[in-house]
A and B are shown apart, each in its own frame.
Chain A
Amino acid sequence: MSRVVDVLVVGAGPAGLAAAARLAAAGAGRVEVLERERAAGGVPRHCGHPGFGADHRGRPLDGPGYARRALRAALRSGAAVRTGVSATGWAGPLSLDVTAPTGLERIRAKAVVLATGARERPRSARLVPGTRPAGVLTTGELQQTVGLSGSGGEAVRGRLGRRAVVVGGEPVARHAVRTLRAAGVETAAVVTELPCAAHGFGAVPVLTRTAVVELLGRGRLTGVAVRGRDGVTSVLRCDTVVFTGDWIPDHELARARGLALAPGTRGPVTDGAYRTAEPGVFAVGNLLRGVEPAQVAAAEGRAVADAVLDLLAGRPRPTAGVPVLTAGPLRWVTPGLLGPTAVPLLVRPDRRLVRPLLTVTQDGSPLRRERLRGDPVPWRSVRLGPEWTSGVDPAGGPVVVGAEEYAS
């Protein structure tokens, strides 16, 4: 079956739902969101903790509450949100093949917004050697396992074990420890290769500058071998190990369309208005660079509406803009292209930087130097305001963002 819609949004997480809500409200025509899970809402559905802002009465929202609100907003403005529907590939430039229990479809749209999120690299992608026992998971699987089996009780312990090691020092590792604790699983240690970890692990020992070098056990995990900062290898006994963080965008549809990936983020390159290189195809949310707070993803969803509406109204597409790259101790920067509109940059450090000086240059000439007040950490992005972008030469070479550490 073939159908035509005005805007097709792939992924009903915070980014996709926010895009759909604003587009439908702005009269973009038929706005349809496809979600492959059985419920809409994306990752927050599995985050049973506050930290997702507040509702209109100022009460703190947890993930599921946030997800419900985002869905309601999209539906109320007239968007169609379809769950249990997977976009499996492209049939043409703006045409997607879809599988659902109701059958196969080919949906053509005037604009396609990709909002497919990100995933954590599993053990294999991290090349952790050893055996292949049960009890090896990511935070995503952990949260959903607890979600499906409920906290505590034999059911969840049978699935999760009794004693876990959590790999990674970012805030998501803290969520893993909390989820484990709520399920009645003790965390023996948090292990991170970073020189310092996020706060809030409580009494759980945090081993920094420590790497997991081998998984042990047949059938069920019996322990992980770790190499510490002193180079000595030891074994931590556990029956569960959770690999956290180390995000990679879920960029399958973007790549299948031939969109170039930014080397630092592994997400599709866009300009500041979230246009990809393919006319009519946009990308927002964690798909661009891994995890940011839900509000950031949702703000990108709202912001993409401007460019989508421009396209629907037949306004000309602006010229592509100049590439933005990183140098020095920075992992990535978004957007990957700077056009005529002034937009802020998101920059992610590789490690904790001490009062760094952020520099922006083009063809060797400085565009901006900004001393940061705090010490940025690798699990949080730094926002660089757009004031300087008027200085960018649209016909020049790449804009390079660098960081110099404070030398007293």
Chain B
Amino acid sequence: MSVTRTGPLPSGPEAEYDVVVVGAGVVGCAIARALARHPLRVALVEAASDVGDGTSKANTAILHTGFDAAPGTLEARLVREGHRLLGAFAGEAGIPVEPLGALLVAWDEQQRAALPRLAEKAERNGHRTTRLLSADELRLREPHLGPGALAALAVPGESVICPWTTTLAYATQAVRSGVDLHLDCRVEKVRTGDPWHRLVTRRGVLRTRHLVNACGLHADAFDALLDRRDFTVTPRRGQLLVFDKFARDLVRHILLPVPGPLGKGVLVSPTVYGNVMLGPTAEDLDDKTATGTTAEGLAGLREQGGRIVPALLDEEVTAVYAGLRAATGQEDYRCAAHPALRYVTVGGIRSTGLSASLALAEHVLGLLADCGLELGPERPLAPVRMPNLGEAFPRPYRDAELIAREPEFGMIVCHCERVTRGEIRAAYASDIPPAGPDGLRRRTRARGGRCQGHFCGAEIRALSEEYGQGAR
């Protein structure tokens, strides 16, 4: 087991793998973890300096049930299974999840008329617990909704989850179970061959018998390295606003829009960190790096959010960000086995990849078997227990026993998010330490609160330098 970020890659037999998974987003990490159950030499290779640094870090963080997927699609099946699998794994691994349930709120007659159809669709997807709510019932459940809400469809099981911990938990378990993780290691060329494909990176060449493309937005570009041109990825940007923790009491469920002819609308949802999120926009772009926000985007979100929960706009905004969905012009995932190339493409994982990740990984194991990979017997994975970032579960700063044992967990450094010195040290001592302040934030929440570093930024940077040095 090893994690590398710099220096030449291993060479000789050390650099020969049964499977290399390219792309360490939530999907690639889940695949690497699934492979780690088998006696195989596996590497997970990522261009960025951290796992989960692409679309997987910037989404709406909902563990979907799949109630509204197009029935019969691969996506519908994998989201449904993934919801069950991730729900169970989250409990084991300490990933914060809150099963708040969703309400699809109808604001006009057309939307109200659509609710029974959505209930039927949910049923066809295997979800029989949805329920129609009258305006009065809705108001009782969500007293802060704006005027004009006519009815809603309640969807139990829709949950909020920590996307950062999820990705990191998969990667950590994979690494602890023997997977090599090579970060800062973009695969630039693929020389296909038998029995070895050669993957060319700036840090050296890796050899692998089987290859998995989990490159997210860049899945089409990676396919092209193997002369496959089955689809094109169009980035669809989603901008998001995160409101202050004081807004949390305004919203009890995940408030989803009713999809209609005018597009999907925006959602208002609590987060596991105790904030409220508003978004996303949906803008088709050409630039796969355009993760910036725009004035129009943010103004549009505020206008829509103000109609859903008017009091939201009185609260401060803690964060603004944007993520890019990997749209391919087809309303389903684009997963394909290419047996002649001993190669599997996992593409078009647009807006449900977090929810489907564990089921997608099982599906990819099947596709790899179709490509001739002998998985061999299964063995248990090394256990993982992740540090808790969720407000619904005990945090270190309130843990008397932990503080008695290690007083550093009683030293709050990031005051807004109540992150202690002990947690920062632990993050740097972990299997996959952060590469910088953003990685530290995703592991601890440090500097992610309402002051955005006004009080703590300087000290957190100093601690990062101190502990980061030790980690190297």
Contacts and interface: CB of A to CB of B under 8 A. Distances in A.
Interface in A316-359: none
Given A99-B403, A129-B298, A130-B292, A122 B451 contact: yes
Interface in A110-157: 119-125, 127, 129-132, 134, 137-138, 140-141, 144-145, 147-149
Nearest to B409: A101
Contacts of B408: 101
Interface string A17-42: 00000000000000000001000000
A100 B410 contact: yes
A30 B314 CA distance: 39
A141 B319 contact: no
A104 interface: yes
B458 A255 contact: no
B192 interface: no
A137 B292 CA distance: 18
A68 interface: no
Nearest to B460: A141
B437 A134 contact: yes
B168 to A, nearest CB: 20
A101 B402 CA distance: 10
B398 to A, nearest CB: 7
A122 to B, nearest CB: 4
Contacts of A100: 410
A50 to B, nearest CB: 23
Interface stretch (B84-92, B217-225, B411-419): B411-419
- Chain A's interface size range is 35 or more
Nearest to B408: A101
A86 B457 contact: no
Contacts of B457: 137, 141, 144-145
B418 A129 contact: no
A145 B317 contact: no
A124 B437 contact: no
B294 A36 contact: no
A102 interface: yes
A88 B457 CA distance: 19
B450 interface: yes
Contact of A124 (B319, B398, B410): B319
A127 B315 CA distance: 13
B140 interface: no
A137 B453 contact: yes
B340 interface: no
Contacts, number: 111
A159 interface: yes
Nearest to A248: B316
Contacts of A140: 451, 454-455
Given A88-B418, A129-B294, A129-B298, A101 B411 contact: yes
B418 to A, nearest CB: 7
A124 B320 contact: yes
Contacts of A248: 316
A109 B461 CA distance: 36
Contacts of B410: 99-104
Nearest to A146: B458
Nearest to B296: A129
B304 interface: no
A218 interface: yes
Interface string B440-472: 000000000011111101110110000000000
B107 interface: no
Contacts of B298: 127, 129
A104 B420 CA distance: 13
A147 B297 contact: no
Given A134-B437, A148-B462, A127 B412 contact: no
Contacts of B458: 141, 144-145, 147-148
A159 B454 CA distance: 15
Contact of B415 (A86, A131, A213, A218): A86
A394 B451 CA distance: 39
B403 A101 contact: yes
A97 B454 CA distance: 24
A138 B452 CA distance: 9
B454 A141 contact: yes
Contact of B459 (A102, A121, A130, A148): A148
Contacts of B462: 148-149
A88 B397 contact: yes
Interface in B223-249: 242, 246
Interface in B405-438: 407-408, 410-412, 415, 418, 436-437
A140 B447 CA distance: 14
Contacts of B318: 124-125
Nearest to A1: B400
5 contacts: A99-B398, A99-B412, A100-B410, A124-B452, A129-B297
Per CB-CB distance, the 6 closest pairs between chain A and chain B, nearest first, are A122-B452, A144-B458, A101-B407, A141-B457, A140-B454, A101-B410
Given A127-B320, A129-B293, A129-B295, 11 more contacts: A84-B411, A119-B455, A120-B454, A124-B452, A125-B316, A127-B298, A130-B292, A134-B436, A145-B461, A149-B462, A159-B461
Interface of A: 36, 84, 86, 88, 97, 99-104, 119-125, 127, 129-132, 134, 137-138, 140-141, 144-145, 147-149, 159, 213-215, 218, 248, 255
